[in-house]
Structure 1
Amino acid sequence: MRRGIGLCLLAMLVFASQDAITKVLVQEFAVAQFLMLRYWLFLAFALGYAHWRGGIVAAARTRHPWLQLLRSLLSVGEIAIFALGLRYLGLAESHALFAVFPLLAMALAGVVLGEFIGLRRWLAAAVGFLGTLIILRPGLDLFESAALIPLSAALAFAVYNLVTRLVSREDGFTTNMLYMAAVGAVASTIFGLPVWQAPSPGEWGLMGVLSVSGVFAHLLLVKALEYAPAGVLQPFNYSLLVFAMFIGLLVFGEFPDAWTLVGAALVVTGGFYAIGASTFRKQSTV
């Protein structure tokens, strides 16, 4: 159990470090350019993994090709939108707003899939929404329209999670990963090639680290799930926000203002309350 939690925390640290590299690259390059490199390396890994797990042809079989296409486009779109937001916002602010996605996914599951949410989890969503409003401060001069970018990424990721739950009823992990890698590679290449700029040796290095660390972080998460169930690991995903704040302060000299910290605390509190309410409901139905 402890090993799984440790691997999950390490994955969150790698993801936060990735975002720091992305923030540097997005100032000089189009998002699609370095996403293209990331996805082609991811595709190479996915093909090798599928071959090892029983064959590429077998992994490519799905009863939901259109849903697989949709979820894969949502995934690459969410990453691209969030990366774009890092051009205008700090790491901590971006992640504080993005952290609302589990609550969005929960609400969508209730509305779209008809899942029972319950009063406690709706209350958790309301707390998270209040935290988001505090961060945004709409109607005040402090409001930045760029803050809507990570919120859009959070919504895309919430829908992605919803569609993934639908296809995962019949498609396995290898199939899901293969489609996500293949569609992402094609989509990012379509947009990446026309805007290609020659990187310097240092920028090539950053793009290489970004691409390799993306695969490494996902492997850490997969390995973490071998040692601890998803329900145990879910709360530790919020450590990404803490790591992002620390790296933003250390690398970019960013420190979120008091209102952002308060709003982020409410978003995380809502998330933890939703997790607790969900766990209570599962135990009460056993």
Structure 2
Amino acid sequence: MTQQDTRKGVMMMVAVTFIFAMQDGISRHLSEAYNTYMIVMIRYWFFALFVIAMAARTRGGLRHAIRAKRPWLQALRGILLVVQIYVIIFSFVQNGLINTHSVFICYPLIVAALSGPVLGEKVGWRRWTAIAVGFVGVIIILDPGKGLFTMGAVIPLLSAVIFAAYALLTAYVGHSDDGIVSFFWTGIVGVVFATLGGMFFWEPMSLGDWGWMALLCLTATSGHYLMIRAYEMAEASALQPIAYLQLVWGSILGMWAFGDVLHLHVAIGAAITVGAGLFTIWRARVKARQILMAQKD
């Protein structure tokens, strides 16, 4: 992997964070007028087609993609992701893009905290300290001293917990199934679950909003495609820190399009949480390098 490949991968990941932030904004816009279940269902119809097309192009095709060694865990992953999307879109409408993303960015810390019991990874005192500091940042964002620690404020935290569980299961099944198998099951199980949840909530949509719906589907598929290409070009350790840019894009969009307000305590808490998250990513990279060097010796 060349330096040029890494540079292209990083640039693609920057584009991915922007596209996903736009996707979040469109999801909020549509869910303020229509029910979330229908929005997610239509979005998954297009996503499933994209997943099938990607799987068909890989070695072994659909026959390989469908053969999961841990089908029940793969199915659980797909369901968890749909539920997480329901929860975070609800939070976008209730709390805005800024407040939602500012809390949701703690999910890497939850993954790091649970990687020991779930994945058997060793988490040292430095990362435990960073995890604790990161959650202090989340508490600052939620601002319990001013009575803002309400159920509505906890919703993005619930979304982060669900997504962390999805990420941990993804890592766990990755020991037995390759990436395309997991990707295929995410889309297929997801579309079935989302359709079962949304088919009873269909409502007429205006022509203009169908245009927004088409744009939502386009951002979802293009964002995932660029993310796959980015991970093909660059190592995950180089791309993971870039993911925090979605908070920046989402905040700008929230203020510009929806009139969201960036409060000082949210900015301070988010900065603390992001800093702690970046530190855990760096420590994980250091530990991986140390293990690799020990194996070579």
Q: TM-score range by the shorter chain?
A: over 0.9
1:248-263 correspondence runs (5 A):
248-263=254-269
Is 1:89 the counterpart of 2:89 in the alignment? no
1:94-109 correspondence runs (5 A):
94-109=100-115
For structure 2, the 5+ residue unaligned runs are 1-5
C-alpha displacement at 1:139, in angstroms? Answer: 4.6
Q: Which of 32, 45, 51 matches 1:40?
A: 45
C-alpha displacement at 1:43, in angstroms? Answer: 1.0
Which region of structure 1 is more displaced relative to structure 2, 220-229 or 91-100?
220-229
C-alpha displacement at 1:123, in angstroms? Answer: 0.8
Contact 1:38 1:212 in 2 (8 A): no
Is 1:5 the counterpart of 2:4 in the alignment? no
Is 1:68 the counterpart of 2:74 in the alignment? yes
- Give the TM-score normalised by the residue count of structure 1: 0.97
1:55-204 correspondence runs (5 A):
55-204=61-210
C-alpha displacement at 1:64, in angstroms? Answer: 0.4
Deviations 1:9-54 (A, max 9, x none): 0000000001111111111111110111111111111112222213
In structure 2, C-alpha distance between the alignment counterparts of 1:281 and 1:172, rounded to whole Å: 23
**AA in 2 matched with 1:95:** H
**AA in 2 matched with 1:169:** H
**What's 2:36 paired with?**
31
* CA-based RMSD: 1.2
In structure 2, C-alpha distance between the alignment counterparts of 1:58 and 1:245, rounded to whole Å: 41
Contact 1:26 1:87 in 2 (8 A): yes
Deviations 1:49-74 (A, max 9, x none): 22221321221001101001111111
**What's 1:266 paired with?**
272
Contact 2:78 2:186 in 1 (8 A): yes
Which region of structure 1 is more displaced relative to structure 2, 110-119 or 72-81?
110-119
SS at match of 1:199: coil
- Give the TM-score normalised by the residue count of structure 2: 0.93
**What's 1:233 paired with?**
239
Contact 2:36 2:86 in 1 (8 A): yes
Which region of structure 1 is more displaced relative to structure 2, 266-275 or 142-151?
142-151
C-alpha displacement at 1:280, in angstroms? Answer: 2.2
In structure 1, C-alpha distance between the alignment counterparts of 2:204 and 2:265, rounded to whole Å: 41
Deviations 1:134-154 (A, max 9, x none): 011225323332111111110
Contact 1:59 1:178 in 2 (8 A): yes
SS at match of 2:120: coil
**AA in 2 matched with 1:84:** F
**AA in 2 matched with 1:14:** I
Distance change in 2, residues 1:275/1:150 (3 Å) = same
- Count of equivalent residues: 286
SS at match of 1:115: coil
**What's 2:3 paired with?**
none
In structure 2, C-alpha distance between the alignment counterparts of 1:226 and 1:181, rounded to whole Å: 20
User: Runs ≥4 in structure 1, deviation > 4 angstroms?
Assistant: none
In structure 2, C-alpha distance between the alignment counterparts of 1:47 and 1:228, rounded to whole Å: 24
SS at match of 1:89: helix
**AA in 1 matched with 2:103:** L
For structure 1, the 5+ residue unaligned runs are none
Contact 2:111 2:168 in 1 (8 A): yes
In structure 1, C-alpha distance between the alignment counterparts of 2:263 and 2:53, rounded to whole Å: 45
**AA in 1 matched with 2:277:** G
In structure 2, C-alpha distance between the alignment counterparts of 1:143 and 1:104, rounded to whole Å: 19
